[in-house]
């Protein structure tokens, strides 16, 4: 499933898992907060998770974060 994510989605997922806020993610990646929200929605949809805990769990299971 990890290979179905774009590089940007992986970056956003990693930062979400590191407890960064939408605003912080937007600033780090030089994108708008709306774009961060869009990536987050796409991650929920692609990974079939319901909340941020599901995203973090996925990031841990796939080794995206340790």
Q: What are phi and psi of 36, to 5 degrees?
A: -60, -45
pLDDT tens track for 12-65: 999 999 999 999 999 999 999 999 999 999 999 999 999 999 999 999 999 988
Question: Three-state SS for 65?
Answer: coil
Task: Specify the pLDDT at position 42.
Answer: 97
Task: Specify the pLDDT at position 44.
Answer: 96
Task: Specify the pLDDT at position 18.
Answer: 94
| H helical segments located in 1-66 | 7-17, 22-29, 33-47, 52-61
Instruction: Identify whether the C-beta of residue 36 lies closer than 8 Å to the C-beta of residue 26.
Output: yes
**pTM for this entry:** 0.92
66 pLDDT higher than 90: no
Instruction: Identify whether the C-beta of residue 15 lies closer than 8 Å to the C-beta of residue 28.
Output: yes
């Amino acid at each position: 499933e990890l290979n179905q994510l774009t590089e940007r989605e992986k970056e956003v997922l990693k930062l979400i898992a590191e407890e960064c806020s939408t605003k912080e993610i937007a600033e780090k990646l030089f994108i708008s907060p709306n774009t961060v929200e869009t990536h987050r929605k796409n991650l929920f949809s692609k990974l079939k998770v319901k909340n941020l805990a599901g995203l973090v769990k996925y990031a841990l299971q796939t080794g995206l974060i340790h």
